[in-house]
Amino acid sequence: MEPYLEQYLHRQIPLSAAMNVSVLSASPESVMLGAPLEPNINHKSTVFGGSASAVAILAAWSLLHLRLLNEGHHCEIVIQSNQMDYNCPISGPFTAIASLPEISDWPEFLKTLIRRKRARLEIQSVLTYGDIIAGRLKGRFVAFLRSSP
């Protein structure tokens, strides 16, 4: 699943290729993306906040994408809103790990998606730098059900 997702991200979201984002692990339960410092560096020799946020959003978006595909739903997915909290500077390679905050929300999300052809879901990503939690993202995503793949 990792090679598929990485190729898909680089093709469909070219910024992910420019940021040298890699898929470290991917399943319908969790997605972990990694990125190096160099293409994401700021004037303080740390990761630019926009890059950190983008990788966190990509991880969350990817998790929803994979969960929906795993259940046979082909959707367009967009981010509606997000909140990003930064705990510390990141001065090297970093990761973003996405998960659903409330797995119990999934059945209602699917029910709404099928009934209304769109639904919203909150997904979280945690940024890590080594063993340190460097930031957290809460994102609200909207999925639009497509009639055919």
Domains and CATH numbers, the chain: 2-145 (3.10.129.10)
91 SS3 class: coil
Q: Render each residue's pLDDT in the chain as its tens digit; 149 residues.
A: 788 999 999 999 999 999 999 999 999 999 999 999 999 999 999 999 999 999 999 999 999 999 999 999 999 999 999 999 999 999 999 999 999 888 889 999 999 999 999 999 999 999 999 999 999 999 999 999 987 65
127: β partners: 96, 135
Cα separation, 128 vs 94, whole angstroms: 6
